[in-house]
Amino acid sequence: MRLLHLTVVIAAVGVIAARPAAPLNESSVADRTTWDSVFTPEQAARGQTAYAATCARCHQESLSGADESPALAGGTFLSKWSGLTLGDLHDRVRVTMPPSDPGTYGRQHISDVLAYVLSVNGFPAGRAELPVAGAALQVIRIEAARR
């Protein structure tokens, strides 16, 4: 097992000369965006409660972040995620949060929190809830500006 781990490390090391820096979303096939009413008001309200319980201590009630915790609302947040998908954002939360015990939030919990985050960032609610399945999230693109 240790050797396997090591092998992966070595494989990850590479000489990739002259490869241009490819944006992550290059292969994205998302055809819906966060402007297409991808969550419900009820889900956002549920998400607000979940956010207050598990996220607000570090990211602040106002979602404005602090020294070590990035803002989850506003231009910097949107600049970071615009062009990526809700699947990417969901994965990031699932893999890294909470910092003391990553990977322990359920998919529904994360989707609810994301619904709240989207609502705070001014995206419209609709009649269908934000899904929990990765494939369904992967086809919803985050767009900072309505096109």
Residues found near another protein in the complex (CB under 8 A): 2-3, 5-6, 8-10, 12-26, 57-58, 60-69, 71, 73-76, 78-84, 88-89, 91-92, 95-96, 99-103, 120-122, 144-146
Block residue for tokens 């890294």? 96
- Residue (136 or 144) nearer to another protein, CB: 144
Block residue for tokens 């995620």? 81
Tokens of 109: 């919990």
- Residue (49 or 128) nearer to another protein, CB: 49
CB atoms within 10 A of CB 70: 13
Shortest separation between residue 47's beta carbon and another protein, angstroms: 12
Residue 57's identity, in one-letter code, is R
- Residue (31 or 99) nearer to another protein, CB: 99
Residue 81: closest CA among 93, 91, 89: 89
What is the rounded CA–CA span in Å between residue 20 and residue 1? 34
Shortest separation between residue 15's beta carbon and another protein, angstroms: 5
Q: End-to-end alpha-carbon separation of the chain, Å? A: 49
Shortest separation between residue 78's beta carbon and another protein, angstroms: 5
- Residue (76 or 128) nearer to another protein, CB: 76
Shortest separation between residue 61's beta carbon and another protein, angstroms: 6
Q: Taking a C-beta distance cutoff of 8 angstroms, is the pair 87, 138 a contact?
A: yes
Shortest separation between residue 127's beta carbon and another protein, angstroms: 23
Paired with 85 in beta bridges are 141
- Residue (57 or 128) nearer to another protein, CB: 57
